[in-house]
Structure 1
Amino acid sequence: MSPLPYGAEIPCLVIYQPIMPVAGVVDMQREKQFGPELQRLRTACGMSLRALAMAVPCSAGYLSKVERGLRHPAPSVAQRLDAVMAADGELSMLARTLGRRSGAAAIVPGQAAPTTRLARAFDATAAAAAAFADDHELLAQGARNVFETLREQGRVVSPVVLLPALASKFGAIRGAAEMVSGETRSQLLSIAARYAEYAGWMIQEAGDAPGALVLTERAANLARAAGDHTMAEYALLRRADIALYGDDARIVVAWAIRAENGVSPEVRLLAAQRAAQGWAVLGQRSRCLSALARAADETAAVEESTVDLGSSLGSRGGGRLMQIVRGWCYLDLGIPRKAVDALEIGMSLVPTDARRARALYGVRLALSHAVCGNVHHAYDAGMTALDEAAHVDSASVRHQLRLLAAAARGWPHDARLDQFRRRIDGELAAARRLS
């Protein structure tokens, strides 16, 4: 029996479904504006523009323009102002409403995501590989073993290096699934879903969020066809991950809340963590802390679960990342000192060979030190993270590096700090040349 044409049996559905407004998320821009609110807080504290500028640090002229609405505050400045004014993240949240970037989630709900260069290349490679499918040699367990090997490589190499291998194996597995039936077919479709989801993550790391959505939806379709409800739920949650780095916190919260209603404790844990991160960006402190509490509860459920998921989902050990997620949220909530404490604990639990994770969380730690005004601690953490980032080519890391670069521009000028700024600029410039 020859395989059906690539992708013929399982159609690709639309990427977005209509999302209802999230209860409790208000349009703060209608109620308050950043400049007048900053001026109100500064006046209430009895601080002059010059004194506040020295505390940030930045120029008094810049702050004057911000207060009058003539300049948008940089994210790092807004975070420092939160810390100095003890505004509990309110200024950071107001700043985001001014400069919200559309990111991947700007695609209109109900429309299919556009086909991108990386998604087309993945499909072409997978279609060619499907012709070499062999129902005798490509058994489910062997496919899982190859997947684990490729995912281990993904922790330490550039995503564009890994994508051709992922596409080839995905195409062969997908073709083999059409040659068999019953349980073997379901197993192959389930592992194909994991290949598609992971390829979507690698495409996202390569800077192509719409392409990541294409592969994420394909993973969900394959998982549903295989009866793999856990993987289908996780594919739903991945939309929240993509929206997080597209700076659309409302979409993050909406998808995460939907995923929290799933049956898998592991997915519910990750969904509660994403919800917490989304609420933190929106400045909703109580909702964020509530989501963190739910995530802590789900951590215990995951540890007690005896369900065989085939392979763990997403970043390995969602429970072990609780301190990382807490620290991430604390920074967005305007509590940078607590962010530093949590991130340092979390970093101690991240394996030393997980370069992609250590680069991302290391930059976040450096940014937390910077917001606290601890320039030299920020330098140390940032340089270590940059050493890791040089190996993995991560769009997620660059997203955080841009924030750190903005913070570093206000630091004093000396040889070490100037070198640090050049390292960041070099990493960002290298990514632009590759794009």
Structure 2
Amino acid sequence: MIRGRGWTGFEAAALQEAMRMSIREFAALLGIETTTVNNWRSGLSRVKPRSEKQSILDTVYLLHATPEDRARFNEIVAEGEDAWRNLHHPPKRTTPSSPKAVDALALARWLASDGTGIPPISCSDDLERVGLALDSARRYFDGSVLEFFRSQLVRCKADDGSLGPAEALPLTLAIVGAIRRHSNEVPAELRRQLLAIGSDGAEFAGWLYRDLDDPVTAMFLYDRSMEWAQEAGNLPMQGYVLLKRSEMAYDSRDAGSLLGLARAAKDGPWQLPHRVRAQVAQQEALGLAMSGEPVAAVEECIGLAEQLLAQADGADDRGLVSNFAESTLRVRSAVCYTEAGKPQRATELFGQVLMTGGLSRRDAGFFGARRAKALALSGEPDEAAAVATKSVAVGLETRSERTIKVVVDVLRTLAPWDHRPGVRQLRDAVKLAS
């Protein structure tokens, strides 16, 4: 053994980085699975590779690492595990005023109180002010109260695309709370209609928390949306929430739930409009790609999504407002190709859509980060770093934690090229965003 006490996961990760290899390349050199390397990188000093892996690491160090590689290895080990962890797993960015800090239990209690209890502390002032404004507007509103709430939700959704989730969240939560409160004061039929709108609002609020990388609160709101949709007898919304939960499963890399929920949305009695059915077909394609199914099966689902989208005319929306369009289909298909091991094809699709400028600012930043990941996997580190650096700025401006999270993943993929100026610049930008 060349190392008296044997290798730890941290030292194995340090050797991979010192040799400037990707996880896949390092695993291939060692003749092991990539999941084993990932486990070493995740566990670090808490993990000690098995005896046969110890011997393999010794051999690679002796026979394949150059003198320069060994010098870099010694520098990384000398800096220590904490320095390595901060470099590769920077802490999540949080600010006192960010709705990310909202406690899920506090939000649940506030909504359960019909919006009359103590609101979540991090946005209590906003919710109180907007809630009073909604009550006042309802009191003096000349038209339908249902249309009033619908128009406010439209405003929130517009704000999300241009300003980000933090700007849209207070009014959205106030609408959800006000609907819950007033739904107990109206006749049964009006209550059903009000809860249908509330289901739409709760689903949208769940999406906002998902973009803020708060899955616990997002799941609570999706459950509330499903409950209200069921009470309102709104079958299409129930199928739509299943689709949204499938999309959320991608954030945690849960391929089984993603594919199962997408197929439940496809096969249920929901009578979904063509545009949403296209979105479901595309989501099934993503699940197949993540599960390692042949590219032909993935492309078959993408083709079905294209056909369904071509048939959508808006006349059959059945109360659902979906922004799934040709540009959205293309960028999400690009994500499918990335997962299917075709990053070059993904890069082409991302580039086609991003050049047209048809996405919202927040979405352009997010899918720009996805394009950077595909570029990194394609062996284009400089362009990947440049694209990802731009996405950091958009992610900060719109407070999209999902975007920053994808950029951090890009940095991990670019680890073998950490010596390049563009990659160092990207790492500095991420540190400032932390």
For normalisation by structure 2, the TM-score amounts to: 0.68
> Which structure has more helix as a fraction of its residues?
2
**Of 152, 158, 168, which aligns to 1:162?**
168
Task: Give how far 1:340 is off.
Answer: 0.6
RMSD over aligned Cα atoms: 3.3
Structure 1 residues 123, 183: CA separation in 2 closer, same or farther (over 3 Å shift)? closer
SS in 2 for 1:67: coil
The more displaced of 402-411 and 418-427 is 418-427
1:288 paired with 2:298, answer: yes
Residue 234 of structure 2 aligns with an amino acid whose one-letter code is D
Can you list the C-alpha shifts for 1:190-249, whole angstroms capped at 9, x where unaligned? 111111001111122222212211111111121222232221210121110111111101
**Of 180, 187, 196, which aligns to 1:190?**
196
**Of 261, 264, 283, which aligns to 1:274?**
283
2: CA distance between counterparts of 1:68 and 1:200?
36
Task: Give how far 1:373 is off.
Answer: 1.1
Structure 1 residues 69, 242: CA separation in 2 closer, same or farther (over 3 Å shift)? closer
Structure 2 match to 1:263: 271
1:338 paired with 2:303, answer: no
1:328 paired with 2:335, answer: yes
What are the within-5 Å matches in structure 2 for residues 111-190 of structure 1? Answer: 116-120=105-109, 126-128=115-117, 129=131, 132=135, 134=138, 137=141, 139-181=145-187, 183-190=189-196
2: CA distance between counterparts of 1:152 and 1:118?
23
SS in 1 for 2:181: helix
Can you list the C-alpha shifts for 1:130-167, whole angstroms capped at 9, x where unaligned? 99485774711111111111111112345344333212
1: CA distance between counterparts of 2:227 and 2:418?
53
Structure 1 residues 228, 405: CA separation in 2 closer, same or farther (over 3 Å shift)? same
1:299 paired with 2:309, answer: yes
Structure 2 match to 1:389: 395
2: CA distance between counterparts of 1:401 and 1:117?
31
Q: Percent identical across equivalent pairs?
A: 21
Task: Give how far 1:388 is off.
Answer: 1.0
2: CA distance between counterparts of 1:391 and 1:199?
20
Task: Give how far 1:292 is off.
Answer: 1.1
2: CA distance between counterparts of 1:70 and 1:338?
25
Can you list the C-alpha shifts for 1:270-301, whole angstroms capped at 9, x where unaligned? 11111111111111123322221221121123
Task: Give how far 1:68 is off.
Answer: 7.7
Structure 1 residues 57, 190: CA separation in 2 closer, same or farther (over 3 Å shift)? closer
**Of 247, 250, 253, which aligns to 2:256?**
250
- 8 Å CA contact 2:392–2:404 kept in 1: the answer is no
SS in 1 for 2:416: coil
- 8 Å CA contact 1:125–1:171 kept in 2: the answer is yes
2: CA distance between counterparts of 1:375 and 1:348?
20
The more displaced of 417-426 and 362-371 is 417-426
Q: Which runs of 5+ in 2 are unaligned?
A: 1-15, 40-102, 118-130
**Of 357, 360, 365, which aligns to 2:371?**
365
What are the within-5 Å matches in structure 2 for residues 86-125 of structure 1? Answer: 116-120=105-109
Residue 126 of structure 1 aligns with an amino acid whose one-letter code is G
2: CA distance between counterparts of 1:72 and 1:122?
44
**Of 240, 245, 250, which aligns to 2:246?**
240
Task: Give how far 1:417 is off.
Answer: 2.8
Task: Give how far 1:69 is off.
Answer: 7.8
1:67 paired with 2:59, answer: no
For normalisation by structure 1, the TM-score amounts to: 0.68
- 8 Å CA contact 1:355–1:391 kept in 2: the answer is no
Residue 209 of structure 1 aligns with an amino acid whose one-letter code is P
Larger RCO, structure (CA 8 Å, separation 6 or more)? 1
Task: Give how far 1:337 is off.
Answer: 0.9
Structure 2 match to 1:226: 232
Task: Give how far 1:350 is off.
Answer: 5.1
Greater C-alpha radius of gyration:
2
SS in 2 for 1:155: helix
The more displaced of 56-65 and 401-410 is 56-65
Task: Give how far 1:174 is off.
Answer: 2.5
Structure 1 residues 68, 282: CA separation in 2 closer, same or farther (over 3 Å shift)? closer
- 8 Å CA contact 1:186–1:225 kept in 2: the answer is yes
Structure 1 residues 417, 405: CA separation in 2 closer, same or farther (over 3 Å shift)? closer
1: CA distance between counterparts of 2:286 and 2:427?
28
Structure 1 residues 268, 68: CA separation in 2 closer, same or farther (over 3 Å shift)? closer
Structure 2 match to 1:93: none
Structure 2 match to 1:89: none
SS in 2 for 1:72: helix
